[in-house]
Structure 1
Amino acid sequence: MSLLSASPRLLGALAAAAVLAADQANKLWLIFVYGIEARQPVRLAPFFDVVYAKNPGISYSLLRAQSPVERVALLALTLAATICIGVWLWRASTRLVGLGLGLIVGGALGNAVDRIAYGFVADFYHFHVGSFSWYVFNLADVAIVIGVALLLYDSLFLTRKTPAADGAAQR
């Protein structure tokens, strides 16, 4: 069976596993092998650096969790959302939706592993131009954004025939 013929559920599960593995391997290598904390910032281009940012919250450091109770609550919220998305993945009817949901689940799990292991999410990649600075992100965040983009594309641009539309077209 090739990936092109895989069920939406299987494709999503494989995408989630691949994102989780790549994200965690990247983080472990940057933190423990390369030692990014002592070497930062690493300038890869005039507009792109590799740094080490410890994000105690969610996107853009919202909902900053400082205390152990806040960290557990944020982790519980993350896992609850991931379970809901996992149920959606289980019911996905197209491979594009399955892939998008799998990317989101893998990214969410990658960041959840960080919260469990470190008490924060490890972020590394920083785009900036002049005084404009984009937030610092990781591979899990990239997968989540791509997954959301795929779901938006599917929702906004792909049309599907519904039984009601078929009946109306025959009249």
Structure 2
Amino acid sequence: MSAFFQKKPVVAGLLVALIAFLLDQWTKFEIVYNVMVRPHVIEVTSFFNIVMAWNRGVSFGMFGWDSQTKVYVLAAMAFAAAIGLAYWMQRENRLRFALPCGAIIGGALGNGLDRLHWGAVADFLDFHYAGYHWPAFNVADIAITTGAALLILDSLFHKTDSSKNEDRD
């Protein structure tokens, strides 16, 4: 199977996108409709809680004002980013590039769908220490952050084939 994905990295990337999207949507469904029917804090460890937080903005709650137009604009931006990454993934056609792109695509689609469905992104993972809380986040945010970090690492360590670049002097 690994040889198949090496030959068809876009398929592998899209599979990662699907897995990230489905895992994100499943966890949000469980939190919103089953676990947090009556919102409360579930203390899992001394540094981690499950909470119900609605992010109406973007990262860290920035631009969190209420506006129906903003909901559609942010959802459209998420979907446009997913389409752009899918196109870039297809052009690059490398497994080490496709997998993180797939993670970002799946996360973007998950958070974009939340905006259209609920008007906000459902966040529920809450890490804290000594009274300081990291902003709550979700599985889509983990996929996006991990994918972005892996793309940065790939850009730092990927060697391009210089024979493909023509000397234009």
The residue number in structure 2 matching 1:26 is: 27
Counterpart Cα distance in 2 of 1:69 and 1:158: 40
Report which stretch shifted further, 100-109 or 62-71.
62-71
1:82-130 deviation line (CA, Å, top 9, x unaligned): 2211211221221011000000000000001101110000000011100
Q: How many residues align?
A: 164
Distance 1:93 1:66, change over 3 A: same
Superposed displacement of residue 164, structure 1: 6.4
- Structure 1 residue runs without a partner (length 5+): none
Partners in 1 of 2:3 and 2:95 — Cα distance? 8
- In the alignment, residue 123 of structure 1 is paired with which amino acid? D
Question: What SS class does the counterpart of residue 66 from structure 1 fall into?
Answer: coil
Structure-2-length-normalised TM-score: 0.90
Aligned twin of 1:139: 139
CA distance, structure 1, for counterparts of residue 145 and residue 37 of structure 2: 26
Q: Does 1:8 align with 2:9?
A: yes
CA 1:122–1:54: 2 relative to 1, 3 Å: same
The TM-score, its normalising length taken from structure 1, stands at 0.89
User: Which stretch shows the higher mean deviation, 139-148 or 153-162?
Assistant: 153-162
The percentage of counterpart residues that share the same residue type is 34
* CA–CA distance in structure 2, aligned partners of residues 95 and 146 of structure 1: 16
Q: Which moved more, 1:4-13 or 1:144-153?
A: 4-13
- Corresponding residue for residue 79 of structure 2: 79
1:48-105: per-residue Cα shift (whole Å, max 9, x none)?
A: 0000000001111112251111211222222222221121122122101100000000
Correspondence list, 1:107-126, <5 A: 107-126=107-126
User: Match for residue 68 of structure 1?
Assistant: 68
> Partner letter of residue 91 of structure 1?
R
